[in-house]
A and B are shown apart, each in its own frame.
Chain A
Amino acid sequence: MSSFKRDKKEEEEGGSNPFLNLEKTSVLQETRMFNETPVNARKCTHILTKILYLINQGEQLGSREATECFFAMTKLFQSKDVIMRRMVYLGIKELSPIAEDVIIVTSSLTKDMTGKEDLYRAPAIRALCSITDNTMLQAVERYMKQCIVDRNAPVSSGALVSSLHLANTAGDVVKRWANEAQEALNSDNIMVQYHGLGLLYHIRKADRLAVTKLVNRLTKQNLKSPYAVCFLIRIACKIIEEEDAAGNSNAESPLFDFVESCLRNKSEMVVYEAAHAFVNLKRTNPRELSTAVSILQLFCGSSKATLRFAAVRTMNKVAMLHPPAVNVCNLDLEGLIADSNRSVATLAITTLLKTGAESSVER
């Protein structure tokens, strides 16, 4: 019976998984197909998928194998099939750390990123930046700056994110792109705004004064992107902590007011980020702490397990430092003891252990 079952299972697997039992060598052989003209886009896309699948499953490619495969792939730039082109970009990114002489595709990618087809441009930028090194960056710098301020949101986002990756290896070149990043920050697109802020902060972060200025300005202008606001809260908290540590804290810091105003944001993500920040800031006074806790208390009743988890985990932290602040939520926490999510239940119990009194034992 059991063998019958297994057979059946294998049969099903074989039928449903076209990628089962792929052989690396034979798949690499198939890349010969890439040399044919005209390119058969459908077949070549399938072969590319197989290669990427094998790599994703942990198959190791040697340097020679990878290089051969990479060079075969470059032939596919002849075809204009969109999906295949995109798979080629993925292949470039996947193989570039292993293969040699990958800079051979620089000009093809530069052509795609400056071309008319928006569907090529954004991913081409990201692929290009994965093969670009410090010396070559100078050559594409002009295009990168243009792309950062491009009106097409994915192009702009792609360029900003790639710049951030590059900043780890070519920090001084990327530093020169601050003006462009600044412009991206004013974008209407929520992701571009987020990425713009991320890059600008990265460029400026060594300069305390510049960061403070940036944050002060942004807290006054209502950022649309909840991701950007979350990020801004984190920067603000860092400045507040640093100022406090340096001993020049002013009681009515505008940054502190900004974080407080975020508790009334319409995005749950931002509200939670702000509440979380209050709990972690050293200077939070009991009144503000209780505001934050009452928001977390609301989250406890949410139907989303993640929201309940986030709330209880933060309360657990409050309970460690200021148990009385969480006392008011004991009833809510007791309700979570039997939560369907075990992490939530465990956290609720450990929190109660810190805040609970004898009177609640019976319940």
Chain B
Amino acid sequence: MDSLMEPTLYTIKGMCILDNDGNRILAKYYDKNVFPTVKEQKAYEKNLFNKTHRANAEIIMLDGLTCVYKSNVDLLFYVMGSTHENELILLSVLNCLFDTVTMILKKNVEKRAVLENLDIVMLAFDEICDGGIILDADPSSVVKRVDLRNDDIPIGEQTVAQVLQSAREQLKWSLLK
């Protein structure tokens, strides 16, 4: 029976980001009893990817884990928990992960951008979940703590190329809205 399970803060079994071939970009598993080796983890990720990459269905139960997910351009984001876990709690963590990455990458959520900012994304993972316990689920407070780059060069000191680039991006986003 679910209700007799010992109440615990250890909610998250794993979080990962995969690319559109199902390869791992970043993955963290927090429970040593679930997939103790990297080989098992990757096998699970492949399996998960095959079951989820076409159907954008938000949630799946696979191999004794409840897994919520979300895809964007060429990336898939997953948060896993035990099947006894409150699915909405898992979803709140997934949303936090996704929104945090979106803010870090300035809406440019794709594989290349993630790899270019991998250090910040790693820090974000660390700030969202610590050893299976949800540390923070509010994307803006996570971003405030990890995205510390001061790359906002005043406009006078930017090169022409930089100005054009940022203008192009702004235009792109206004068109996509």
Residues of A within 8 A of B (CB): 16-19, 45-46, 48-49, 52-53, 56-58, 82-83, 86-87, 90, 93, 119, 122-123, 126, 154, 157-158, 161-162, 164-165, 191, 194-195, 198, 201, 205, 227, 230-231, 234-235, 237-238, 241, 268-269, 272-273, 276-277, 280-281, 304-307, 309-310, 313, 340-344
CB<8 Å pairs between A and B, sample of 14: A16-B112, A48-B119, A56-B24, A58-B42, A83-B148, A86-B123, A154-B136, A161-B130, A161-B131, A195-B133, A227-B137, A306-B68, A307-B87, A340-B57
Interface residues of B in 69-121 (CB under 8 A from A): 86-92, 111-112, 115-116, 118-120
B136 with A58: CB separation less than 8 A: no
Residues of B within 8 A of A57 (CB): 24, 38
**Bound CA–CA A90/B141 (angstroms):** 19
Other contacts beyond A17-B115, A56-B26, A306-B87: 16, CB < 8 A = A17-B111, A48-B119, A49-B122, A86-B123, A93-B126, A158-B135, A161-B130, A191-B137, A227-B134, A235-B7, A241-B3, A280-B2, A306-B68, A307-B87, A307-B88, A344-B57
If the complex has contacts A45-B119, A227-B89, are A83 and B149 also in contact, measured as CB distance less than 8 A?
A: yes
Are A309 and B133 closer than 8 Å at their CB atoms? no
Residues of A within 8 A of B168 (CB): none
- Complex contact B88–A119 (CB within 8 A): no
Count contacts on B: residues with CB < 8 A to the other chain.
55
Set A19, A48, A342: member contacting B115, Cβ < 8 A: A19
Q: Which of A53, A269, A306, A309 has the most CB of B within 10 A?
A: A306
B58 touches A (CB below 8 Å): yes
Distance, CA A45 to CA B111, complexed state (A): 20
- CB < 8 Å neighbour of B39 from A56, A58, A306: A58
- CB of A340 within 8 A of CB of B55, answer yes
Q: Are B3 and A341 in contact (CB under 8 A)?
A: no
- A281 nearest CB neighbor, chain B only: B3
A341 & B89 in contact (Cβ 8 Å cutoff) = no
On chain A, the residues within 8 Å of B136 by CB distance are 154, 157, 191
Are A304 and B135 closer than 8 Å at their CB atoms?
A: no
CA distance A340 to B89 in the complex (A): 22
Residue in chain B with minimal CB distance to A309: B59
A346 to B88, CA, bound (A): 20
- Say yes or no: B111 contacts A16, CB within 8 Å: yes
Main secondary structure of the interface of A (DSSP, over half): helix
| Inter-chain contacts of B1 with A (CB < 8 A) | 280
**Docked pose: A66 CA to B86 CA in angstroms:** 38
Q: Is B4 an interface position by the 8 A CB rule?
A: yes
With beta carbons under 8 angstroms apart, the residue of B5, B7, B59 that contacts A306 is: B59
Contacts of A157 in B (CB 8 A): 135-136
Residue B9 at the A interface, CB < 8 A?
A: yes
Instruction: Tell me the complex Cα distance, A230–B91, Å.
Output: 14
User: Which B residues are in CB contact (< 8 Å) with A273?
Assistant: 86, 88
With A231-B7, A235-B7 as known contacts, state yes or no: A309 contacts B135, CB within 8 Å: no
- A305 x B88 contact (CB < 8 A): no
* A176 to B: closest C-beta gap in Å: 20
A119 touches B4 (CB 8 A): no
Q: Kindly list chain B residues whose C-beta atoms are within 8 Å of the C-beta of A237.
A: 3
- Whether B24 lies near A230 (C-beta < 8 A) is no
- For B9, give its contact among A49, A195, A205 (CB under 8 Å): A195
Q: Contact between A119 and B148 (Cβ–Cβ < 8 Å)?
A: yes
Q: Tell me the minimal C-beta distance from A271 to chain B in angstroms.
A: 9
Q: Which residues of B contact A280 (CB under 8 A)?
A: 1-3
Residues of A within 8 A of B38 (CB): 57-58
Which B-chain residue is minimally distant from A17 (CB atoms)?
B115
